[in-house]
Chain A
Amino acid sequence: MSIGHTLLGLLESGPRHGYDLKRAFDAHFGQDRPLHYGQVYSTMSRLLKNGLVEVDAVEAGAGPERKRYAITDAGITDVAQWLARPEKPEPYLQSTLFTKVVLALLTGRDAAELLDTQRAEHLRLMRGLTERKRTGDLADQLICDHALFHLEADLRWLEVTAARLDKLAEAVRV
């Protein structure tokens, strides 16, 4: 899962402080793994370096500096590309996909299309496995089946998600 892209995506809806970013991230995606402040700031500085975000304002005051970040055009493009690029199908992909879906919804992009793209990618892999299974020996068949069942489970999750996109959109926009 790409924290950078996630934070970028969160910025798309408007400039935020680092603290806000962490809270927003945790609220949407951090159920099992809340983000450390350090991760936020190190990620943001990398993004700054790549020109994907810019510092919108700095609030004076004690304590840690309170920079407000805003996304640049390059950053928006980057998010779009990331969302559109299907993930390499692999086990335990859900968290990334989930992040992508929520971000797509948050940024007003077509989440369904994202899921369909991912499904196509999954199927491409599954086709390869199926072909290998058909031509391979028993061991191949068993190995391929194992992978196929996992991929199928992912896809099922995608289906369920796709079916519930409307509800999800309501939830994330609250």
Chain B
Amino acid sequence: MSLLRPRATAAGGRTGGRDRPAPTVPGAPPTGRAAWARDLVMGIRFAAGSGREGWIRTALTATGVALGVAVLLLGASVPGVLDTLHGREKARENLGQAHPPRAADDTLRYASADTVFHGAPIRGRLVRPDGAHPPVPPGVDRLPGPGRMLVSPALKKLLDSPRAGLLRQRLDYRVAGTIGDAGLLGPGELTYVAQPVTLAAADGYRIDHFGKDWNPPPMRAPTVLLVIMTCVALLTPVMVFIGTSVRFGNERRERRLAAIRLVGADVRTTRRIAAGEVLFGSLLGLVAGGALFLAGRQLAPVVTLWDVNVFPSDVAPGPLAAALIAVLVPAAAVLVTLFAQRGVTVEPLGVVRHRPPVRRRLWWRVALPAVGALVLVPLSRERPWTDTPLHTLGLATGAMLLLLGVTTLLPWLVQAVVGRLHRGPVSWQLAIRRLQLSSGSATRAVSGITVAVAGAIAIHMLMTGMQASYTRAYAESGKEPRISLWANSKDWPQTQRALTALRATPGVTAARGTVDALVGPLPHPPGRPEDAARTTVTVGSCAELRSLARLDSCHDGSVFVTTTRREGAVAPGATLDLNPPRDAYEAVRPHPWTVPRTARTVPLLAHRPSPDRVVYDLLVTPSALDVGRLNGPTTELKVVFDRGTPDAVEHIRNTAARIDPTMNEVSAVDNPHDAQYASVLDGLFAGAVVTLLLIGSGLIISTVEQLHERRRLLSTLDAHGTRRATLGWSVLWQTAVPVVLGLGLALGTGLALGALVLTMIDSAVTVNWPVVAAITGIGGAVILFVTALSLPPLWRMMRPDGLRTE
């Protein structure tokens, strides 16, 4: 054996302590920023360079943080998205100016020509410049010439598709170009700007600029609630997942920190190193989360929620929110780690746990959801519901407390239930005893499921409730195959021609039409301008009038007064103003007209009540009254069609557009909420599945880790001849018991929350049981999934090599 020969050069520049003065306690190690930097870097080094286990933990932390960051960035983008949408709408619109400009070189005539094609709404605007320098909306360089139109890319695509033949007929303009992104709300928006060959004075108004002064309405309380619940439901599992992942490989990390303590690191140093380890994963996660968000928002064009479809670039959180997320999420991950280490001191010889056994006290666990319920119940008595900031705040707080309360209640529930379970087969016994000993890690993971499922159920109930009201309304009015159309009216013959055209349209079984207007008494009632126009007059041929009232005899020139008794009722011989001011500021010249003394009083036909039913005070045949003298007369057309004729509705719309492109449609033929509901439901399911899978992987991690810790025990059990199936079942039970309890709790909370909120918005409480069952079923599937994936490691660990000591 060779003897150690002292070298000429001293290692470390210090061969001996011979010359050293009496030992002194060295000064503090590098402190402050330098120490922080060094220790964090060392932690990062550990996270990056500690083999498979370290990478797994880093990857898990990164995944959790990435998902959290992505969800938060998305959530933080919602206000921005709405703002941008409103901004885009504001910039391109002009709903009419209080003081219409005079025709000039820089003015144009403007009208809306919206239509619907197979349920898809198309925004149309008609322009007719007065001069050479008309204003142009954003995204448009030059207005289209006569007979031409500019279309959005999505509309262009639709027009080019073979199934759009009827639409091509309706929008009978040459496509002269596309509207740039600046002029669109979203990439999927269907819109066009056209210049018809003629644009009558009655159809539209004159403007000299685009862009309107208009403030968007604040989000309604249910919407706010929906956003908050979605965020809570999505983020809680993510936090739980981060919590699980930072605990992964804890044992080994603690050993490592103990080794570092031994060579002289103090407690704070080890905390900093531990923080550095998590920080690395968090920073990776932050980058990945940002990338995920950027990649995810590229999908924005294909997503349409509540008719909102936006450009990827519009999905952007505010700089402050983004900065907060970038700082707070990694910080939260570090805090979770330090929190997981509470009561744990890393000593040079190992880890000392001086945490007293957790007593699961009931009162504060119940307090959270109870306070939530207490906040919500009085709100649900509020009739009618009004959107005030206080109400919204209460609603959000209550809902959040109730959802989060589930996580606090669950550990107590699991412990209480498990403590009362006893007899059963060996596998059951193993699982129950294990849970009795420590149900913490399993419960932690499951609480994520619970919030996700409760949230999903509540969101779904809210959606179903709102949907049910819409559906009922549409079912009522959509029962009859009927479309109402209206447009500004010039004269009766125009209406007559429209009726003729409609009756000749394929699929139309009946068409009725009149010209309606509001007239007022003369002289005007003093002080109450809103009463200036309160008499409803309708002009129509005898045939049309007969569909409204019972007329004994009628000829052109007849006038009838109806028997309705309202304040708008008029008596024969009364003098009316055909051109009443519509508000206090409209200064118009009165158009006096006297109800002929010969006017007969007739009863209106009793029609079933419907949204478009109008109660007329005065029925007039065309030659008795000049439609042109009325203030804002409208042609009202009611078309009944045969559902059996293919595309009957589209044919009717085409006819209407031919009569007057600015014709408006009022119908219940397409329930726009159906598509919204379906897309939201899809999203809800996708979200629930992703969340539950996330939780499932968290559960797998904790299960496998637990198996790993008990490898020797498992090998021993195997050596004793325990059947694999027994241990497999025990793993199943161990997962199943907390998950089943969690799902039960989630079901209760979700239904309760949903019911409360629905009562609040005055919707009937409806539960779509298949959907609830499906969401719960996914939770159950997670149990099987986790068990199935835990089995291979279980088999592996049951091999006799587990008995070997290292």
Q: Which residues of A contact B (CB under 8 A)?
A: 133-135, 141
Contacts and interface: CB of A to CB of B under 8 A. Distances in A.
B3 interface: yes
Contacts of A134: 1, 3
A66 B477 CA distance: 136
Chain A at the B interface: SS class? helix
Interface string B720-761: 000000000000000000000000000000000000000000
Nearest to B2: A134
Contacts, number: 5
B387 to A, nearest CB: 83
Interface in B1-56: 1, 3
A22 to B, nearest CB: 51
A144 to B, nearest CB: 11
Contacts of A135: 3
A133 to B, nearest CB: 7
A134 B1 CA distance: 6
Nearest to A133: B1
Contacts of B1: 133-134, 141
A147 B75 CA distance: 79
Nearest to B4: A134
Interface in B174-229: none
B2 to A, nearest CB: 9
Contacts of A141: 1
A141 B3 CA distance: 13
A135 B3 CA distance: 8
Contacts of B3: 134-135
B501 to A, nearest CB: 116
A136 B572 CA distance: 142
5 contacts: A133-B1, A134-B1, A134-B3, A135-B3, A141-B1
Q: How large is the interface on B (under 10, 10 to 19, 20 to 34, 35 or more residues)?
A: under 10
A108 to B, nearest CB: 41
Contacts of A133: 1
A134 B3 CA distance: 7
Interface of B: 1, 3
A141 B1 CA distance: 8
A6 B1 CA distance: 44
A156 B769 CA distance: 77
A135 B1 CA distance: 9
B102 to A, nearest CB: 115
The 5 closest A-B pairs by CB, nearest first: A134-B3, A134-B1, A141-B1, A135-B3, A133-B1
A136 to B, nearest CB: 10
A122 B3 CA distance: 24
A133 B2 CA distance: 10
A142 to B, nearest CB: 12
B567 to A, nearest CB: 114
A133 B3 CA distance: 10
A129 B497 CA distance: 128
Nearest to A138: B1
Nearest to B3: A134
A107 to B, nearest CB: 43
Nearest to A135: B3
A11 to B, nearest CB: 51
B3 to A, nearest CB: 6
A24 to B, nearest CB: 48
Nearest to A134: B3
A134 to B, nearest CB: 6
B1 to A, nearest CB: 6
A148 to B, nearest CB: 13
A173 to B, nearest CB: 41
A5 to B, nearest CB: 41
A133 B1 CA distance: 8
A139 B524 CA distance: 134
B299 to A, nearest CB: 74
A90 to B, nearest CB: 25
A110 B1 CA distance: 40
A141 to B, nearest CB: 7
A27 B560 CA distance: 145
A137 to B, nearest CB: 11
B52 to A, nearest CB: 42
B763 to A, nearest CB: 82
A141 B2 CA distance: 11
B6 to A, nearest CB: 15
A59 B608 CA distance: 145
A134 B2 CA distance: 7
B700 to A, nearest CB: 49
A75 to B, nearest CB: 49
A135 B5 CA distance: 12
B97 to A, nearest CB: 107
Nearest to A136: B1
A84 B286 CA distance: 74
A84 B1 CA distance: 36
Nearest to A141: B1
B77 to A, nearest CB: 74
